[in-house]
Structure 1
């Protein structure tokens, strides 16, 4: 297995005052930048709440050199990357991820937008309305209001009690005083002394440093500014308070005068508080009927202050007594333990997490500048935290420390693993006829071992699908998912992401991440899913309500498959199930280790493909109750046929649509703040996906705006000059080269390719097919898209508007 990424990035301060962290990770396929500005919503003048958040939005609206259509967001999207920003209490973060060949261009645009914002008055007016829409949604969101109410026990003078997101009333862009304050805030904080730039990628440290210096040369030079510490969290001598609501109990602990290492100490404490393993606090409360679920997290940390939140989901029979006593008793027990084995396991799981982290995750981790384990200073800080909380020298118990995570154990690889008699390590990579025959048998088996990706990487993926005679009832699905909860957490800590989902008459078990623990994780998962008492399980914790557009995205795959009668008879479902699967990037050693688990898969092996679902020019509408006053709509437009040429054309349409669609509906029409378009593959079907969430525009009207945009696609294509067309097509094709595809993304493409009937060299054929699409072919695809030859499927927060739409059954 390849070596772990070095846990500590290189850090230095450049001559101009810019702090940089540089992480050379040769296994990465992409690069990422995370810029942290040491200024946030609590640093703005009291007269203008929301100014920091407002400025973050304004910076994305383009510069003289890079207008919005050529700016950072459009650039990152056109290269298949990721981008976002976030304003917190005392920091503002900008971050993106790109392929290596496009990374310098992304940094160039980021530095330009930070150094030369236009601050156009018309842009400010428009963007303020976006923040107003966000404010309306926030004020009507019950979960957001509950979260804000958690601060009610704090001192009224503390900034956590204030409103900082910004709205029409707090952002008077017409007033000269506001404009002066905005400029002052920008000039004070958006300079090198207040910034930390974190870069992560496969480049050498020298290359990354050159990129960082080029970035820093554009930013205004300045000195570090001390951010003023706020007043104490609480105005009384009390250091904690309790809030009770329906089925929830919140404990909040206000901590003061903590050392700098308090962040790592709090993370360590919350990790073990959240453990649901036998003998711990969560298991004890559940067994006593006091709580169903426990979640601990710090809500705020700055200048030695921290607010620790422990949230308990209560049983349906009201607020029980004794919870506080058990909580304090466990904390006292924990305070008296030797943390050495816990620190060792905690460090190991962080190393595993780093090994499977994306470039963006690593860059953001580095920008936090926290230790990835619990250092000696962290131990001192943890003792101080426990003392402030009130942990004492004695406890009643019985308690025990969590059992070690079974998936974190690393077994030594067998000597010459993957070689046959007569071969040495010098022959690795050569195949014999016997091996080819063995591979042929595997490829005909229900579990196919794909050769599309090299098998010498640390990462891999497993997809295991069951086709069922009936649809699993939602209650049964929830119980099965809940049965996997503990396993999923252990697997995640060991570097393997596990999901188990139901769509129509199918179940899908999916694993991505480090391949070494996967056979053991798979074996344990199959046991949990098929245990006889699967229908009797602990009550599922109430989940946080998703925003409407996310609810629609979660529901979409299920609405794309046919349903039959529901059943909660687990035995019946397993006995009639037919299974197949795909394993990707697996070494010979991992394949051999999977044998035992695969021999125990319930159901009948079946490698016969089922054709992807088709809509046959139908326009189907599904209404989904989001429980929100906000409107939301998804439009999924499958390709006209299942041919690879049509998939390539649809991907190129999506590539050229993305920025203009956002610009039209989000910026020009201001229909909502959640606006996107993208290419999606669902159950082997390739389609264009458009989404909008709006506070005041009804779904039928949102659909009309999307249709108007689609009707203008031929004109949009014709306005592209030849150079732009060719460059866009080349950029898209490059995103599917093996050198640019992270393992998880490549695995998902291969799985969708299998479901869609693609050949085993799909990843080679796809970029070639994209390069074959000329302007005539793309115009033809746009016409077929508008004629809904592949059918259209709409999910919305209201009922069907009528002809030509049919209500989905």
Structure 2
């Protein structure tokens, strides 16, 4: 391996990877970009293959072709010709896989145990290089895409993209919907197969592709794997792509879905940028974005509007390269113009004084390799010649260059309708003059003087028996540890928890942004055991952050909001497994506030805060209404759907591991049974989820035409006829599955994950007088002790209905009952 090791360390630090990581990016002789990231603390090896072609590169007369090709990659390849083979192989190893088609890039990503990386990469490259295109399989997949398209008509994200197209030039592909359906793709399977093959031959070539890996394997081993497996890829440059500027003249569009929610609204302000120019000055643009999100603009806007969310990004979905702001809610035109005026002024301020010293937040390990591979695949050959000066960006960021996209509540007015999606829209003028808002200061986080640092002891109980419990000390220090952390939880009513958490996050929005400027991170959340927060970062301002976060917590909910539906109906159903207590399990809250601190946190200040909380929470009502065993969802889409929720017998590591193993055993077979053999619908999956440590499984099917009763019967028949048989594993298979599961859910990969897992383990034992063992060590021991017959017994208990369960059902036109 050429190059000094220090260079690889510095590259990893610049990319935001954990301390101790190494990173290499290089281009091979065949034009393929590769990236290898060694992260010693990572549990799994993440593999990504990306191709620099997306849905905007499709033929005009075959919209959805790139999306269909992404699906077709999973229908078999030269060395692994069986459809569904990849899903089965990954499932047996406890891994995960997914794929995505974006505007100008398509990617496939796998998560596997490190010792499976060699074969996993072989399978990934084979599906990218030599997919099988069988007309019968392609015809079936067109029907799947058509069902997906119809299901997505209930997802606001589809209508957002459709409305966004109204801001693009006439004749540009971005004006059209590219999800793909039976009408846009046609019903001639043989002809469509030929077009798929031609599209693949022209664009899936090494010169326009990238492979990326991230995991614990040594850097040299990763590079060897990447270089060796790159050889089968078709060599050469892809066909040249014509990508003209998409945007029309600056302006605005208001839109809503065909069945708009009156309480749902959002505003996006977009400044499109030339890709090469933005890439050349990426750090400066990030500094501008950081200034916009330093808390001052959020505080100013929130004083005038009940702002729930405010995000600044340089990678807005479906927009290409741009600086974009998203704010919600934006309920009327007056609010829209007020927000627009304030954001325009804030952008002028940010351009004049970007925030250049904002700490770089660590990346999410699951996200990083995909973004890296997509960036490299989209880059192609490095551009020749000197980059344009930064001043060339200024005209693109002028206030008058803004494009406005307003998700409006359904309101009176002249609305046009897009024929394909039914999206309602109309032009939205941008007012040139609006009275500016009075500027507010960002929340101030006072700093205290730190005492001289000393070696911190292991966790010990500072105080108990006085209405609260306080722990101090850190049992684990990973290289990327924050200087200090403060975890705090208390009992709270579950009956209106979702609305209360939404209001808490709204109240704390400027605070979270101001904290980020000082390298602090704040998370406010809640679950079946109550409400809680985790704050991490430099100790001198941490206590002040927690004090202000608690002050933002609402005693009562004054503005309950209905969450806008997001994603497919089946995905919304699965979120119930995370947000609600499982069936048959009453809330087990402790009325005593609980806290855990480490680092140079002021324990006296923590005690004082806990004492005040204990006095306030003494009379709290923690009761809640348990959802019925059969629950109908209000009409949210035109599809039928059913999900069987099954709760584990308890919240012990044994139950959690057994349900995760069952999900592995059942998922691929359930998908094949429901989608391939029975042809029931677009979505068919088995998913494991937890809420406050309580494990449960969800067996979900979403279908455009099959009745709810038939879906329930199909799920029940699968469990009674196949559930137990699929869980009968021989000793070798059981050992392999356990090893893979430990790789996927073993010791924490980052200190942030370690803090969260330690905190929630502590909350499960709120009155303990001794610190519990590291939870992942106890979980590892529990997994090692499991026997195959225990797995079979759990499957039998599910098939016989001996575990608590609940049905979630949906059909068009129904309401909550």
Cα 1:737–1:328, aligned 2, differ >3 Å: closer, same or farther?
A: closer
| Cα separation, 2, equivalents of 1:701 and 1:522 | 56
Matching residue of 2:142: 128
Asked whether 1:205 is paired with 2:242, we answer no
Match for residue 277 of structure 2 among 251, 259, 275: 259
- Residue 636 of structure 1 deviates from its aligned partner by 2.5
Match for residue 791 of structure 2 among 742, 757, 778: 778
- Maintained 8 Å contact 1:265/1:379: no
Please say which of residues 783-792 and 440-449 is displaced more in the overlay.
440-449
Give the 5 Å matches for 1:541-560: 545-560=566-581
Asked whether 1:678 is paired with 2:687, we answer yes
Matching residue of 2:396: 385
Q: State the Cα deviation string for residues 564-595 of structure 1 (Å, max 9, x = none).
A: 9xxxxxxxxx9x95322556xx5xx35x4455
Asked whether 1:319 is paired with 2:338, we answer no
Cα 1:54–1:726, aligned 2, differ >3 Å: closer, same or farther?
A: same
Match for residue 507 of structure 1 among 500, 511, 530: 530
- Maintained 8 Å contact 1:294/1:311: yes
- Residue 478 of structure 1 deviates from its aligned partner by 3.4
What SS is found at the alignment partner of 2:125?
helix
- Maintained 8 Å contact 1:633/1:702: yes
Matching residue of 1:446: 469
Give the 5 Å matches for 1:290-305: none
- Residue 52 of structure 1 deviates from its aligned partner by 0.7
| Cα separation, 1, equivalents of 2:287 and 2:99 | 28
| Cα separation, 2, equivalents of 1:293 and 1:614 | 27
What SS is found at the alignment partner of 1:725?
helix
Match for residue 177 of structure 2 among 159, 163, 169: 163
- Maintained 8 Å contact 1:130/1:670: no
Cα 1:521–1:788, aligned 2, differ >3 Å: closer, same or farther?
A: farther
TM-score, L = length of structure 1: 0.77
- Residue 211 of structure 1 deviates from its aligned partner by 1.8
Point out where structure 1 has 5 or more consecutive residues left out of the alignment. 420-434, 565-573, 802-806
- Maintained 8 Å contact 2:287/2:356: no
- Maintained 8 Å contact 2:663/2:688: yes
Give the 5 Å matches for 1:208-219: 208-219=222-233
Matching residue of 1:570: none
Matching residue of 1:795: 808
Cα 1:361–1:248, aligned 2, differ >3 Å: closer, same or farther?
A: closer
| Cα separation, 2, equivalents of 1:688 and 1:328 | 44
Q: State the Cα deviation string for residues 272-330 of structure 1 (Å, max 9, x = none).
A: 5853733x4x655555669987666568799x985666656566565369649836861
Asked whether 1:364 is paired with 2:371, we answer yes
Matching residue of 1:337: 352
Q: State the Cα deviation string for residues 468-515 of structure 1 (Å, max 9, x = none).
A: 4774576544332311222334456777664433446x5322438xx4
Match for residue 251 of structure 2 among 216, 223, 240: 240
Asked whether 1:603 is paired with 2:603, we answer no
Cα 1:594–1:187, aligned 2, differ >3 Å: closer, same or farther?
A: farther
Point out where structure 2 has 5 or more consecutive residues left out of the alignment. 1-8, 16-22, 257-261, 380-385, 403-431
Matching residue of 1:571: none
- Maintained 8 Å contact 1:640/1:789: no
| Cα separation, 1, equivalents of 2:76 and 2:104 | 25
Matching residue of 1:760: 773
Matching residue of 2:407: none
- Maintained 8 Å contact 2:682/2:703: yes
Asked whether 1:277 is paired with 2:295, we answer yes
- Maintained 8 Å contact 1:198/1:364: no
- Residue 661 of structure 1 deviates from its aligned partner by 2.2
Q: State the Cα deviation string for residues 142-165 of structure 1 (Å, max 9, x = none).
A: 552243122214222111012222
TM-score, L = length of structure 2: 0.76
| Cα separation, 1, equivalents of 2:651 and 2:35 | 46
- Residue 92 of structure 1 deviates from its aligned partner by 0.9
Q: State the Cα deviation string for residues 609-653 of structure 1 (Å, max 9, x = none).
A: xxx99999x982233325333334433322335665454433332
Asked whether 1:465 is paired with 2:489, we answer yes
Task: Answer 1 or 2: higher relative contact order, Cα 8 Å, separation at least 6.
Answer: 2
Asked whether 1:580 is paired with 2:598, we answer no
| Cα separation, 1, equivalents of 2:683 and 2:127 | 22
Give the 5 Å matches for 1:574-723: 577-581=591-595, 586=598, 589-590=599-600, 592-593=601-602, 596-601=605-610, 602-604=612-614, 620-625=629-634, 627-640=636-649, 645-711=654-720, 712-718=722-728, 720-723=729-732
Matching residue of 2:52: 38
| Cα separation, 1, equivalents of 2:285 and 2:688 | 37
- Maintained 8 Å contact 2:742/2:780: yes
Match for residue 199 of structure 2 among 185, 190, 196: 185
- Maintained 8 Å contact 1:243/1:251: no
Matching residue of 1:118: 132
What SS is found at the alignment partner of 1:228?
coil
- Residue 560 of structure 1 deviates from its aligned partner by 1.7
Cα 1:742–1:49, aligned 2, differ >3 Å: closer, same or farther?
A: same
| Cα separation, 1, equivalents of 2:215 and 2:811 | 45
- Maintained 8 Å contact 1:27/1:202: yes
